[in-house]
Amino acid sequence: MNEPAVVLAARTGVALSCAIAVVLPTARPAWSEPRSEHRLLGLSITVPTSVNLGSSAPGGTITGHLGAVTVDDNGVVANWTASVTATNFTTGAGAPAQTIAKGSVSYWSGPATAKTGPGTATPGQATAAQAQALTVSRTAFSLTGGLVVTSVTWNPTLIVSVPASAVGGAYTGTVTHSVA
């Protein structure tokens, strides 16, 4: 006799989606010589606007790629660092059982998936074993020795530990990349 399959509905699982923000520096960096405002606009960063990371039962783990993150440098900046931060992920009113704290969200950049131009591109976390909790701002990627038009792309991974006390629902949070 065939037993009916058990399907986990939203009330027993946790689905995560992620709004991704981009922040560019607004303050002038310290230069040894005057730079024009045009030159400060030499860095840009492009990220996906949103991603569905999947679902899990409470007490489980969700692992998903954010999609391509690209930093373009028009050649005025020899060195740059891209950083990443996150908010808590919440559902409903964000009560304690409706919140996955950002300390339960780990990030690893992985290697560059594409690179043009000179310089050394270094991932903040090259492997899953180096994943870091997003309790504070973390280095996502950096470039040294550019000073010519460069572009670096990576596809970071989020690892979310869903608390056993989490209630089912669609959880959302924001992962912000910035570059300076």
How big is the CA angle at 51 (ends 104 and 47), to the nearest 5 degrees?
Answer: 100
Residue ranges per domain, the chain? 14-179
- Summarize the confidence of residues 66-95 as an average pLDDT: 89
Q: Residue 139's pLDDT is what?
A: 98
As beta bridge partners, residue 71 has 45, 152
Q: Could you tell me which residues come within 8 angstroms of residue 62 by beta carbon, excluding any fewer than 6 positions away?
A: 14, 16, 53, 54, 55, 56, 158, 159, 160, 162
Average pLDDT of the chain is 79
pLDDT of 104 over the 80 cut: yes
Structure confidence at residue 22 as a pLDDT band (50, 70, 90): very low
As beta bridge partners, residue 41 has none
